[in-house]
C-alpha cells in the first residue's frame, strides 16, 4: 500500500483527531494561563496561608508526573463520586500541571519589574488599579512571554497524553489505525509530522508574533 | 465494591510498588546516561564547520523537540520491527528517551559553552594553547558548572517522564500500579501511591537542583549572597 493510498484512506480520521488535539490545546492553554496568574500572584502574597497554599500547589503538581495526574483525574476521582468526562479530565490535568509551571514564570516576571517603576507610579499618585494596569502589566509581558512560549510548545506535546485516558485525539487515532492496519511507520510517522507542523509552522510563529507585539508595546521592539 | 481508602490493600501492594520503583529509577538513570552522550553528538553536529551538517543537525533536533515523546516511543517500538530490528520494550524506551532528552541536553551544553567569555578563548589563542588543551583545561572546567543546573533539571524531567514507558510495556512503577489496579479493580490506592512515591523522590531532587543553581549563580557573581 503506497503512502498516498494510506493517506486517502485514513487521512480524514487523522485530521479529525487533529481537530480534537487543537481543542484540547486551546482549552488547556486558557486554563493554564488563568491558573498561572492566580497562583503566581498568590506566591507573592504576604499572607503566609495564601503563599503556603500556592507553594504546596506548585510543588505538588511539579513533583508528580503529568501522566499520574491524568490517570488520577480520570480513574481515581470517580471513587470520590466525581466522574469527569475524558476530555474534561484531560484538560483539567493539563491545565493544573502546566499552571504550576506557569505560576513560577508569572512570579519571576512580576519580580523582574524594577522596583523603581512601582515607586514612580506611587509617587505620581496613580491609583492601585491604574498602577498595575498601565505600568506593571505592560512591562511583565515582554519578560514572561518567551518562557511562557516554551511552556506552551511543551503543552502541545503533552496533549498527546490525553489519548491514554481515551480522548480521541491525534495520538489516539494513530494508535487505533495502527492496531487495525499495522502500518506503523505510516500512521505514527504521519502523526509525528502533523505535530511537527502544528508546532513549527503555527504555534511557534504565533507565539513569536505575540512576543514582538508585547516588546513593541513598551517600546523595546525593533521597528 | 468498598469505597474510600483501604490501608490494608495499600500495605499489601506496597512491596510490589517499591520493587517497581527500583525499575523506574534504573530506567531514568540509564535513559539519562544515554541522553548525556547523545547530547554530546548533537553538540558536535552543531559546532562542526560544515554548514550542511549544521543545518541537518538543527532540523533533526527541532523535529525531535517539537514532537511528543509518546508517539516517538510508539514509532520506535512498532516501526523498527518492520525493518527486522527486534528490540525489547526496555531498549526501545531507553533509546527513545535518550534521543528525546539528548536534544534538550545539547542545548544545555551549548548554553554552557557560550557562557564562557570569549576573552578566555582569545587569551588561550594568545598563549598559543592547542584547541584540545584549551577545551580540556580552560573552557570545559568553566562551562561545566554552568551546565550543572540544566543537567539536573533534565534528570528530574526524565524521571517524571518514565511513566510513559508503561505504554509500551516496560515494567516500571506506573505499569505496576496499572497492573495491580486492574487485577484488583481498585485504582485509588495504586495510583495515589505512585503519586506519593514520585513526590518523595522528585521534590527533594528538584530542591537540590535549585540549590545548585543558586550556588553556581553566586560563584559566577550573577547574584549576591
Q: B125 — alpha (psi -120 to 50), left (phi > 0) or beta?
A: alpha
A40: number of Cβ within 10 Å? 24
The residues near B67 (Cβ < 8 Å, ≥ 6 apart) are A157, A192, A195, A196, A199
DSSP one-letter string for A133-165: IIIIHHHHHHHHHHHHHHHHHHHHHHGGGGGGG
pLDDT score, position B39:
96
Average confidence (pLDDT) over A119-136? 89
Residue A24 pLDDT greater than 70, yes or no: yes
As a residue count, chain A comes to: 223
B63 contacts in A (CB within 8 Å)? 192, 196
Q: pLDDT digit string (tens) for A98-125?
A: 999 999 999 999 999 988 998 999 899 9
Residues B160-194 pLDDT 10s: 999 999 999 999 999 999 999 999 888 899 999 99
Mean pLDDT for A155-167 is 96
Chain A CB contacts of B164 under 8 Å are: 67, 161
B198-225 burial string, b = 16+ CB within 10 Å, else e? bbebbbebbeebeebeeebbeeeeeeee
For position A223, what pLDDT does the model report? 47
**Which residues does B contribute to its contact with A (CB < 8 Å)?**
3-4, 62-63, 66-72, 74-75, 78-79, 82, 160-164, 167, 174, 178, 181, 187-188, 191-192, 194-195, 198-199, 202-203, 206
- Which sign, positive or negative, has the C-alpha torsion B187, A95, A58, A47? negative
- Whether B99 maps to a domain, the answer reads yes
**Residue B116 lies in domain:** 7-219
The count of structural domains within chain B is: 1
Q: Could you read off the pLDDT tens digit of each residue along chain B, which spans 225 residues?
A: 556 788 999 999 999 999 999 999 999 999 999 999 999 999 999 999 999 999 999 999 999 999 999 999 999 999 999 888 889 999 999 999 999 999 999 999 999 999 899 999 999 999 999 999 999 999 998 898 889 889 999 999 999 999 999 999 999 999 999 999 999 888 899 999 999 999 999 989 888 988 888 888 787 776 655
pLDDT of residue B223: 64
Q: Is residue B182 part of a domain?
A: yes
Residue B174 located in a structural domain: yes
Give the integer Cα–Cα distance in Å for B67 and B80: 18
A18/B contact by beta carbon, under 8 A: no
A140 touches chain B (CB under 8 A): no
Q: What is the DSSP letter of B223?
A: S
Out of B66, B160, B181, name the one closest to residue A196 (CB).
B66
For position B149, which CATH number holds? 1.10.3720.10
**Are A160 and B71 within 8 A, CB to CB?**
yes
Is 70 exceeded by the pLDDT of residue A221? Answer: no
Residue B120's nearest CA partner among B150, B106, B141, B100 is B141
CA angle B66, B69, B75 (to 5 degrees): 105
ipTM value: 0.90
Q: What pLDDT was estimated at residue B50? A: 93
A164 touching B (Cβ < 8 Å): yes
Mean pLDDT across A40-57? 94
Choose among A149, A189, A205: nearest CA to B63. Answer: A189
CATH match of A3-217 with 3.40.50.720: no
**Could you tell me the sign of the dihedral formed by the alpha carbons of B112, B25, A72, B8, in that order?**
negative
In a domain, B149, yes or no: yes
Amino acid at each position: 500500500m503506497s503512502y498516498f493510498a494510506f493517506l486517502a484512506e485514513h487521512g480524514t480520521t487523522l485530521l479529525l483527531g487533529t481537530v480534537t488535539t487543537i481543542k484540547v490545546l486551546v482549552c488547556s492553554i486558557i486554563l493554564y494561563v488563568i491558573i498561572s496568574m492566580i497562583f503566581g500572584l498568590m506566591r507573592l502574597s504576604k499572607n503566609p496561608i495564601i503563599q503556603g497554599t500556592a507553594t504546596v500547589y506548585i510543588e505538588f503538581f511539579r513533583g508528580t508526573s503529568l501522566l499520574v495526574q491524568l490517570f488520577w483525574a480520570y480513574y481515581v476521582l470517580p471513587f470520590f463520586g466525581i466522574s469527569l468526562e475524558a476530555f474534561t479530565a484531560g484538560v483539567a490535568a493539563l491545565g493544573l500541571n502546566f499552571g504550576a509551571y506557569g505560576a513560577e514564570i508569572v512570579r519571576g516576571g512580576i519580580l523582574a519589574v524594577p522596583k523603581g517603576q512601582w515607586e514612580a507610579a506611587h509617587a505620581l499618585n496613580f491609583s492601585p488599579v491604574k498602577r498595575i494596569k498601565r505600568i506593571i502589566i505592560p512591562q511583565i509581558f515582554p519578560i514572561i512571554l518567551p518562557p511562557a512560549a516554551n511552556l506552551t510548545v511543551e503543552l502541545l506535546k503533552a496533549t498527546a497524553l490525553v489519548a491514554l485516558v481515551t480522548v480521541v485525539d491525534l495520538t489516539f487515532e494513530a494508535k487505533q489505525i495502527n492496531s487495525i492496519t499495522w502500518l506503523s511507520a505510516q500512521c505514527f510517522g504521519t502523526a509525528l509530522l502533523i505535530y511537527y507542523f502544528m508546532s513549527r509552522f503555527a504555534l511557534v510563529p504565533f507565539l513569536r508574533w505575540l512576543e514582538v507585539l508585547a516588546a513593541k508595546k513598551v517600546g523595546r521592539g525593533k521597528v | 465494591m468498598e469505597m474510600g481508602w483501604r490501608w490494608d490493600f495499600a500495605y499489601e501492594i506496597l512491596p510490589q510498588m517499591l520493587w517497581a520503583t527500583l525499575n523506574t529509577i534504573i530506567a531514568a538513570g540509564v535513559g539519562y546516561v544515554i541522553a548525556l552522550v547523545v547530547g554530546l553528538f548533537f553538540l558536535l553536529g552543531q559546532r562542526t564547520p560544515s554548514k550542511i551538517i549544521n543545518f541537518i543537525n538543527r532540523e533533526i533536533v527541532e523535529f525531535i523537540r517539537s514532537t511528543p515523546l509518546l508517539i516517538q516511543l510508539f514509532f520506535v517500538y512498532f516501526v523498527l520491527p518492520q525493518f527486522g530490528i527486534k528490540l525489547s520494550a526496555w531498549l526501545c524506551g531507553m533509546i527513545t528517551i535518550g534521543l528525546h532528552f539528548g536534544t534538550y541536553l545539547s542545548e544545555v551544553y551549548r548554553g554552557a559553552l557560550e557562557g564562557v567569555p570569549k576573552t578566555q578563548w582569545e587569551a588561550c589563542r594568545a598563549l598559543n594553547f592547542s584547541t584540545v588543551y584549551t577545551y580540556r583545561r580552560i573552557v570545559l572546567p568553566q562551562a561545566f558548572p554552568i551546565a550543572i543546573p540544566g543537567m539536573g533539571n533534565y534528570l528530574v524531567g526524565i524521571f517524571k517522564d518514565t511513566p510513559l514507558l508503561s505504554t509500551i510495556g516496560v515494567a516500571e512503577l506506573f505499569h505496576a500500579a496499572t497492573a495491580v489496579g486492574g487485577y484488583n479493580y481498585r485504582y485509588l490506592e495504586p495510583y495515589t501511591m505512585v503519586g506519593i512515591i514520585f513526590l518523595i523522590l522528585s521534590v527533594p531532587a528538584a530542591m537540590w537542583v535549585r540549590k545548585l543553581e543558586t550556588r553556581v549563580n553566586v560563584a559566577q557573581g550573577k547574584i549576591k549572597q
